Amino acid sequence: MFASSVVAALVALPFLAQSASAADCTRSYTIQDGDICDNISANNNVSTYQLAVTNPTIDGTCNNLQPGQTLCLGYEGQDCQTTYVVKGGDTCDQITGAHGINATMLWANNQQINADCTNIYIGEVLCVASEFGAPPAPSSLPITAIPAGATPAVPVVSTSSVVAATTSVASATPTPAAADEDDDDDLPFCDEL
């Protein structure tokens, strides 16, 4: 959802007019010309999910950023600042392993990730804190589809036998993994592919 660049404002949206948020904003950022959502996230240690939740006026494709306007980066007490930018080949199991957290915590802090972790994409910013720190999910969850133009972290293969990633370790069936050239993980986490 957050891959697109700032476009000249075709429509003047009342971007900040409706800022009656329940929680207090403790970090903010002024949009610069050329900003895109995931770069704002990466540069400020705020997850893609959190940026979406704390700024519900950003549209699903992040196409309505307007330079000069202010974004809220975190609510008081709901502000994860331990972040990781997804790289090509990453799986949720690698990410949790690398940061010493479990899948429950990764999903709790990044509620847009689907159960088998097939919708993370390169450049997406994840909260990898070891405690719950993200804002609660709004009634309409930030878009869970990989944004147009973004590259999935792992190549999408249509298998119906994808094991739910939340149940990690057990399924160490040695499927011929396509990725995994450089980065041999020590733990037998289930590879989705």
The contact set with ligand NAG (CB under 6 A) reads 34, 36, 39, 44-45, 102, 104-105, 123, 130
Element (H, E) at 85: strand 83-85
Closer by beta carbon to ligand NAG, 3 or else 154: 3
Tokens of 2: 């957050």
Closer by beta carbon to ligand NAG, 33 or else 185: 33
Please, what's the b/e burial string for 157-178 (b: 16 or more CB within 10 A of its CB; e: otherwise)? eeeeebbebeebeeeeeeeeee
Considering the complex, what minimum distance in angstroms separates the CB of residue 81 from ligand NAG? 6
Closer by beta carbon to ligand NAG, 18 or else 132: 132
Considering the complex, what minimum distance in angstroms separates the CB of residue 158 from ligand NAG? 28
Tokens of 135: 């804002």
- Under a CB-based contact definition with an 8 Å cutoff, are residues 31 and 66 in contact? yes
Considering the complex, what minimum distance in angstroms separates the CB of residue 45 from ligand NAG? 4
Specify the 3-state DSSP secondary structure of 127. strand
Alpha helices in the chain (DSSP H): 37-44, 48-54, 92-99, 103-109
Considering the complex, what minimum distance in angstroms separates the CB of residue 46 from ligand NAG? 9
Closer by beta carbon to ligand NAG, 157 or else 187: 187
